[in-house]
Amino acid sequence: MTTRQPLTYRTGEDRFNYRVAAVIMRDSHVLVCREEDDPYVLLPGGRVEMHEPSPVALRRELNEELRCDGQVEAHLFTAEDFFHRDGERFHEIGVYYSVMLTGTFPFAAGETVFETVDEGKVLRFTWLRNDPAVLAAANLLPVWLPQRLNDLPARPEHLISSEIQAEARERAG
C-alpha cells in the first residue's frame, strides 16, 4: 500500500492546496458542507493526492465524506484563489465539476441531512437553495461561488480570485 500524499504544503505562513469540489444540485438546491464550527461552508470535495487525476480524487472524496458514489459530469471551473484563513495565506487551485450522486442520498431543504467524521473533524452536509443571497448569507466560499452557481457555464472557465489583493487595495484606498 502506498502512502497517501495530499497536494498541500506549508511554507511559513503560506499554504498551497490543490482541491477538487462537487457542484451537486437537486430541486433548485445545492449541497454544501460545514466543518465543525467553521463560519463558512464549502462544496463537498477535498484535496487531490499525488498522481491522482482530479475526477478520481473527487469520486474518492465523495465516497469518503458522503458514503456514496458520484458520477462526475461536466468540468465547470478551474480557479486560482488567494485568501487568508486561520492566520495563513492560501494559494489554492480548485477544480469544480458538476456531479450526479448515484444511489440514494437524503434530501431536506435547508436542513443538515448527513453528518460524518473525516480526519477527526465533524462534517455536516446541508441542501441550501441555489440563490446567490442565500448562499452568500451562509458564507459559501470561495467568495465568487454564490453568484456563479446561479449561472453555470456551458464550457469550463478559468477564474482568478484574490481576496489578498482586494484587501491590499482597500488598505491603500
Give the pLDDT confidence score for residue 107 in this predicted structure.
Answer: 94
Give the pLDDT confidence score for residue 156 in this predicted structure.
Answer: 98
Q: Which region among 32-41, 108-117, 149-158, 159-168 has the lowest average model confidence (pLDDT)?
A: 159-168
CATH number of 8-26+43-103+110-120+153-168: 3.90.79.10
- Count how many residues are written for the chain: 173
Which of the four pLDDT bands, split at 50, 70 and 90, describes residue 119?
Answer: confident
Which of the 8 DSSP states describes residue 116? E
Q: Which amino acid is at 9?
A: Y
Nine-digit cell string for 46: 477535498
Segment holding 91, helix H or strand E:
strand 88-101
Q: Which amino acid is at 62?
A: L
Counts for the chain of helices (H) and strands (E), in that order: 4, 10
SS3 161: strand
Give the pLDDT confidence score for residue 172 in this predicted structure.
Answer: 61
Dihedral in degrees, nearest 10, Cα atoms 116, 56, 9, 39: -40
d(CA 94, CA 17): 8
- The mean per-residue pLDDT over the stretch 49-56 comes to 97
d(CA 41, CA 50): 26
Place of cell 441542501: 127
Give the pLDDT confidence score for residue 104 in this predicted structure.
Answer: 86
Q: Give residue limits of the domains in the chain.
A: 8-26+43-103+110-120+153-168
Predicted TM-score (pTM) of the model is 0.92
Pair 6, 48: CB distance under 8 Å: yes
